[in-house]
Amino acid sequence: MKKNFTCIICPNSCDIEVMFEGNAIGTVNGASCSKGIEYAKNEMVHPMRTITTSVFVQQGIVPLVSVKLDTPIPKEKIFEVMKFIRDIKVTAPVISGQIIIANILGLKSNVVATKTVEKV
């Protein structure tokens, strides 16, 4: 079986072709670096993603704070994580780097604020 990917690790956006032979990854072609090879292999067996979104802020000078996961999660958990984050509200002040949700859904990834929101 053959599968094609566009690598998202760096700006080169390599077109990578992975051959799957039986139950194992065979050849990986088209990557210009080892990170691309590793990315393609992971996409075949265990795709991971990092989420960026926003959380509602009460009593803040702005109504939302941008957040991100500090480590990737399994791709199949994205919608479950987003549903959980959607219902979260924090109270200002929020400090950039502050953990908003620790170990979200037991996935060993924290939801972290990426900007500061001052209190009104």
Co-location of 107 and 59 in the same domain? yes
The 10s digit of each residue's pLDDT in 63-102 is 999 999 999 999 999 999 999 999 999 999 999 999 999 9
Co-location of 70 and 32 in the same domain? no
Count of structural domains, the chain: 2
pLDDT of 23: 76
pLDDT of 79: 97
Answer whether residue 120 is part of any domain. Answer: no
Number of residues assigned to the chain: 120
Co-location of 77 and 58 in the same domain? yes
Q: Choose from 1-5, 31-35, 40-44, 110-114 the range with maximum mean pLDDT.
A: 110-114
Domain residues for the domain of 64 are: 52-113
Co-location of 27 and 58 in the same domain? no
Co-location of 16 and 64 in the same domain? no
pLDDT of 107: 98
User: Which residue type, as a one-letter code, is found at position 64?
Assistant: L
CATH number of the domain enclosing 74 = 3.10.530.10
Co-location of 72 and 37 in the same domain? no
User: Which residue type, as a one-letter code, is found at position 47?
Assistant: P
The 10s digit of each residue's pLDDT in 12-68 is 999 999 998 877 888 899 999 999 999 898 888 889 999 999 999 999 999 999 999
Of 71, 76, 85, 92, residue with least CA distance to 43: 76
